[in-house]
Amino acid sequence: MGCQCSQSIKKEEKENENNLLNDIQNGMNINEKPIKNIIKIRPHPKFELFSNQTTKTTSNSKNNNFHEIKNQFNNSFNNQQNILSFQLLQQLNIIRTKPLSYIDIINKYKDNIIKKNNKFYLKIKKYHNTLITLEKGEIAFNECIKKLYLQPSLNPIELNNKLKLDVNIPLNKENISIDYYTSLEFTEKIIDNKLKLLDDNFEIIGFHYDKSLNDPELSAVLQLIDDTGNEYSRRKNILNQKVKYVGISVVNLKDDVYCYYLLFACNK
């Protein structure tokens, strides 16, 4: 019989590609159809500042002033993204290194689950009582708590900017639905672009995203509980023993609605 090594490698690579595609398809936390008349989200002050600037000017001094304001805005927003990424990483590492300690945090959010018209929602009071849709509600929260009781402590993961996905969202995005930025078309594109530039030292383990609010702790809870009907793919990424690195991109989609994109990897 001939050597089957190359065939096995190709088969494994194909399986990895399929698993990554499944991660993309299952990455959605969208919790995205809350009761519309309850959502009262304030416009982001930074976007209000920038949108009020006049772009059509003839004076060089006015043009320079505009570009200066634009650069200040971009730098400020990039700094905010970095802070949110680091804060989310902190939450993920608490989950990995001290899983039992996260039970109290889950219980805190569990107290805010409500049921309306036979549907479950997580009510976020500090964001004007915004509702985030859930599938199973309290059952999913309790199941996650049981999982954490049995979960062994894992090594923390490191934030690696080489894995950070380039998510470019235009400032003027009124003509583009925010759903596009969590679509299969968009997520496949940003992952493909990253894989083309990534060196061979990384083995990609998984990808997912979370569309929620400007709150890393809330995002971490939603990812961990993963009450989305997607077979806990996001929880599996977070608690994967092989994971050593994560790239985190954070973008503001609309007002207080943010999306967190996570790409997990280890060394080859």
The pLDDT, as a whole number, for residue 102 is: 97
Helices 216-225, 60-97: axis angle to 10 degrees equals: 50
Q: What is the pLDDT of residue 32?
A: 41
Domain extent for 92: 26-267
125 domain residue, yes or no: yes
Residue 59 pLDDT exceeds 80:
no
Two tokens, residue 13: 């690579």
Enter the tokens of residue 206: 């998984």
Helices (H) and strands (E) in the chain, counts: 8, 7
Q: What percent of the chain has pLDDT over 70?
A: 69
Instruction: Identify which of 251, 252, 235, 255 has the alpha carbon closest to the alpha carbon of residue 243.
Output: 235
Half-sphere exposure of 80 (CA within 13 A, CB side): 14
The CA distances from residue 181 to 67, 69, 176, 213, in Å, are 26, 26, 9, 15
pTM: 0.72
Residue 106 pLDDT > 60: yes
Q: Does residue 191 belong to any structural domain of this protein?
A: yes
Q: What is the pLDDT of residue 168?
A: 82
Q: Is residue 6 part of a domain?
A: no
Q: Is residue 4 part of a domain?
A: no
pLDDT digits (tens, 9 = 90+) for 114-165: 999 999 999 999 888 899 999 999 999 999 999 999 999 999 999 999 999 9
Q: Is residue 108 part of a domain?
A: yes
Q: What is the pLDDT of residue 8?
A: 45
Domain count along the chain:
1
Domain membership of residue 225 (yes or no) is: yes
Average pLDDT, the chain: 77
The average pLDDT across 196-221 equals 93
* The predicted structure's pLDDT at residue 172: 63
Q: Is 11 among the domain residues?
A: no
Q: Which of 19-23, 212-216, 236-240 shows the lowest mean pLDDT across its residues?
A: 19-23
Mean pLDDT computed over 8-12: 47
Does residue 5 fall inside a structural domain? no
